[in-house]
A and B are shown apart, each in its own frame.
Chain A
Amino acid sequence: MGKTEMGMATGSLTRRYFLEKLGRMGGTAMLLAGMDALGFGIGSALAAPPKLEGKPKKNKVVVLGAGNAGLASAYELTQAGYDVTVIEARSFAGGRAQTARKGFSLTELGGTTQTCDFDEGLYINHGPWRIPYHHHTTLHYTRKFGVPLELFNNDNDASFLYFEKGKGPLAGKPVRKREAVADMLGYSSEILAKLSQQGALDSRMGAEDKEKFLEFLVEFGALSKKDLSYTGTPGRGFIVDPGAGTNPGPGTPSVPHKLDDLLDSGLWHMVHGISEWDQQRTMFQPVQGMEQIPKAIARHLPDGMIRFSTEVQRIRQSPKGVIVEVVRDGQPETIKADWCICTIPLSVLKTIDHGLSPAFAAAMAKCAYAPVGKIGLQMKRRFWEEDHSIYGGHVFCDNPDINNIALPSTGWQGQKGVLLGYYNFGPNAAKVSGKSPADRAAMAVDYGQKIFPAYKESYETSFSVAWHRVKYNLGGWGMWSDDARATAYPVLTEPDGRIYLAGEHMSYIGGWQAGAFESAWQQVERLHARAMKG
């Protein structure tokens, strides 16, 4: 759509006219996104799967990959009467949406085989692990197929921050997040309030607004109404908690850290206002692991539709159809279809004899894949809960080999638990993944010991993954540079002949399951619209 047309549209715009136009241009997806933008309150681009009406003549589809994008494509197309075959290289459905529990086995490229030996009932989601409340596509399938959810504690005021690389008395000390937040907000509000009172803001607000603004700062920063100073607040915690009678009675208030010390330590980096869009509360996880989502969708596909342990060797197409050569247990087979939805990660697809156009191949090469590492550590005692009153949430660290220690949001007050010992990216993930699984665990445990005195003595066993070394993935998620997003990505959103790409990499919600689902819905809708034309 050209600039002029948009300009004209906005000139004489009614909401209905605008939405109709959007709907014609971009289908349901665009329509719903438009409704959201106009304040109809639909929080995500796609709130419901596309309605695929009518029966096309050419209805045979081969879906490559049984991760979330492939499963959703297969399910929606099957519902619409298509004849679908799903090719999956692994022996199970889900792609990266995996859960490691007792017996789960993983061999990294160039690495040894790990077989998870957590206790029964314990697990780690070593792939996707959380679902934002506005990921309606993901939540559509959990609701539709009755996958029970529980809250994922994505922000815990009581949890520690641990920054070693700054200076001053707070460097290298676990500091409760609530203390850093209360003090940074308190001091910032104090400074702003006093400046305001001294007239620094008089040129930009009137007396009435200034009064309201001061009231806001007093509340926001927990300032003294009398002199606008910050001297602490119950929210940052107590030296002795309030209790019964006269002892402890009101308890003993805590004393704020010094502003200079907070600044020198670097802890202020972890004090935010509103969370990032995809990190906000409310966050969910499926009860008993992320794999429950793909498993539930797969259960609702006809028996035998997914061909497991079957690798794609070669993809070719003609004006009439798509031919996929696969191999299972050394036995080659040729699968013919009218259409193909290819959800193979681009990192892997570009190593296959895909026969796609040179423009497609060049565009695929511009998508980089993220080296990503995670480790689950089984602890024989939930010391974070018992000793520190930390129930779920994250311990953020400034060592990029670790980044994030996450306490489990399930099994509260149980005996044992599996926590996330690190979540590293890029060169740090590359570095850590060069270690043996035992050495990765030793590194993670040594680090955690600096924060929790009971870490090392509680550690029992580990399971780690380096996604860049996992066959069939070769990376955690697709990453588009600004340049590649502008030039290469749009090429790949169009079909190449009869082949449509889908997956998290084909969305602006990259690395999230919702990106895979929304991309699948969008491509399925476009495929269907074309198939209906004959």
Chain B
Amino acid sequence: MRALRFLTCLPLLTAAIAAVAQTTHAPTVAAAPDPALDPTRVFSENCAACHQEDGKGIEGAFPALAGDKFVLAGPEQVIHVVLEGRGGMPTFKADLTDAQIAAAITHIRTSWGNSAAPVAPETVAAIRTGEAPKPDATKIISAH
């Protein structure tokens, strides 16, 4: 009900795949890191509005990530929350690639004094359930 249909696309997905393909074909040249996969940037663009650049969140509204046990424990639960959303946090399943989610989670596990292991895109891919939405899949969005 009350749904308007909007399109969503994943331009970054194509860019990320292209970037990966390029690096495998040119192993002798040091590949310039893909800015779309820079952990700090992915975090800033998608997460910092709520969790804040300093990872301290906002008390009573957005959980702190700095020093947070949940963030520092095994990455599976964190990956699950980013993929599926929880409470006020939206699902990023259709909007971020596995590589981007890995980058963002790597950022929160290795910044602000946090020192947990980085996360690989393959780990995200293994947890992502169901088919990833196609780049041109329609997404139903509630609009009021």
- CB of B70 within 8 A of chain A? no
Residues of B within 8 A of A512 (CB): 2, 144
Q: Name which of B16-24, B57-65, B124-132 contacts chain A.
A: B57-65
Kindly list chain B residues whose C-beta atoms are within 8 Å of the C-beta of A270: 5
A468 interfacial contact with B, CB 8 Å? yes
Q: Which of A451-477 contact B (CB under 8 A)?
A: 466, 468-469, 471, 474-477
A165 touches B88 (CB 8 A): no
- State in angstroms the CA–CA spacing of A466 and B61 once bound together: 13
Please indicate the chain B residues that have their CB under 8 angstroms from the CB of A434 in the complex: 44-49
Cβ 8 A contact of B52, one of A110, A163, A368, A371: A110
Given contacts A278-B2, A434-B44, contact A426 B91 (CB under 8 A): yes
Residues of B within 8 Å of A110, CB to CB, are 49-50, 52, 58, 62
Q: Does B34 contact A (CB under 8 A)?
A: no
Cα A208 to Cα B138 in complex, Å, equals 39
Selected from A165, A347, A471, the residue in CB contact (under 8 A) with B87 is: A347
Residues on the A chain within 8 Å of B1, using CB: 276-278
B: residues with CB less than 8 A from A are 1-9, 11, 44-50, 52, 58, 60-62, 85-92, 94-96, 136, 138-139, 141-144
Complex contact A128–B144 (CB within 8 A): yes
Alpha-carbon separation in the docked complex, A365 to B86 (Å):
9
Pick the contact of B143 from A404, A432, A466, A471 — CB < 8 Å?
Answer: A404
Per-position binary interface string of chain A over residues 463-495, scored 1 when its CB falls under 8 Å from any chain B CB and 0 otherwise: 000101101001111010000000000000000
Q: Mark A265-280, 1 if CB is under 8 A from B, else 0.
A: 0100110000011110
Tell me which of B2, B5, B8, B88 contacts A474 (CB under 8 A): B88
How many Å lie between the Cα of A512 and that of B49 in the bound state?
25
Among B7, B89, B90, B142, the residue within 8 A (CB) of A269 is B7
Q: How far is the CA of A110 from the CA of B5 in the complex (A)?
A: 31
B62 contacts A398, C-beta separation under 8 Å: no
Chain A residues 393-426 with CB under 8 Å of chain B are 396, 398, 400, 403-404, 423, 425-426
Pull 13 A–B residue pairs with CB atoms less than 8 Å apart, ordered by A. Answer: A269-B5, A269-B138, A278-B144, A347-B87, A347-B88, A370-B90, A396-B6, A400-B7, A431-B49, A432-B49, A468-B88, A469-B49, A511-B142
Closest beta carbon of chain B to A344's beta carbon, Å: 13
A residues near B94, Cβ cutoff 8 Å: 427
Q: Write the nearest CB–CB distance from A421 to chain B, whole angstroms.
A: 15
Verify A430–B90 contact, CB threshold 8 A.
Answer: yes
* Residues on B with beta carbons closer than 8 Å to the beta carbon of A269: 5-7, 138
**Counting CB contacts under 8 A, is A240 at the interface?**
no
Report if A368-B85 is in contact (Cβ < 8 Å); known contacts: A427-B95, A430-B46, A430-B49. Answer: yes
Q: Contact between B88 and A276 (Cβ–Cβ < 8 Å)?
A: no
Q: How far is the CA of A404 from the CA of B4 in the complex (A)?
A: 10
Q: Of all chain B residues, which has the CB nearest A434?
A: B49
B125 to chain A, nearest CB (A): 19
A110→B92 CA distance, assembly (Å)? 21
A371 vs B85: C-alpha distance in the bound complex, in angstroms?
A: 11
A430 neighbours in B (Cβ, 8 Å): 46-47, 49-50, 89-90
Contacts of B139 in A (CB 8 A): 400
CB contact list, A120-147 vs B, under 8 A: 128, 130
Contact B4 A276, beta carbon cutoff 8 Å:
yes
Q: Which residues of B contact A426 (CB under 8 A)?
A: 90-91, 95, 141
Chain A residues in 8 Å Cβ range of B143: 279, 403-404, 423, 425
Tell me whether A246 is interfacial, beta carbon within 8 Å. Answer: no
Known: A128-B144, A278-B2. A368 touches B48 (CB 8 A): no
Name the residue in B46, B85, B143, B144 with the highest tally of chain A Cβ atoms < 10 Å from its Cβ: B144
Contact residues in B for A427 (Cβ distance below 8 Å): 46, 90-92, 94-96
With A109-B62, A430-B50, A431-B45 already in contact, the answer to whether A400 and B6 are too (CB < 8 A) is: yes
Q: Contacts A278-B2, A426-B91 known; A109 to B61 CB distance under 8 Å?
A: yes
Residues of A within 8 A of B11 (CB): 165
For residue A28, CB closer than 8 A to chain B, the reply is: no
* A9 to B52 CA separation, bound complex (whole angstroms): 58
- The CA of A476 and the CA of B144, in the complex, are separated in Å by 10
Are A351 and B61 in contact (CB-based, < 8 A)? yes
Task: Report B120 CB to chain A, min CB distance, Å.
Answer: 22
- CB of B136 within 8 A of CB of A431, answer no
Query: With A and B bound together, what is the CA distance between A270 and B6 in angstroms?
Result: 8
User: Which 4 A-B pairs rank lowest in CB-CB distance, beginning with the nearest?
Assistant: A434-B49, A398-B7, A426-B90, A511-B144
Contact A371–B2 (Cβ < 8 Å): no
> Is the CB–CB distance between A368 and B49 below 8 Å?
no
By a CB distance below 8 angstroms, the chain A residues around B136 are: 165-166, 266
Q: Report B-chain residues with C-beta under 8 Å of the C-beta of A156.
A: none
Contacts beyond the supplied A166-B136, A404-B143, A433-B50: 10 A-B pairs with Cβ under 8 Å: A269-B6, A279-B2, A351-B61, A427-B90, A434-B46, A466-B49, A476-B144, A479-B142, A511-B142, A512-B144
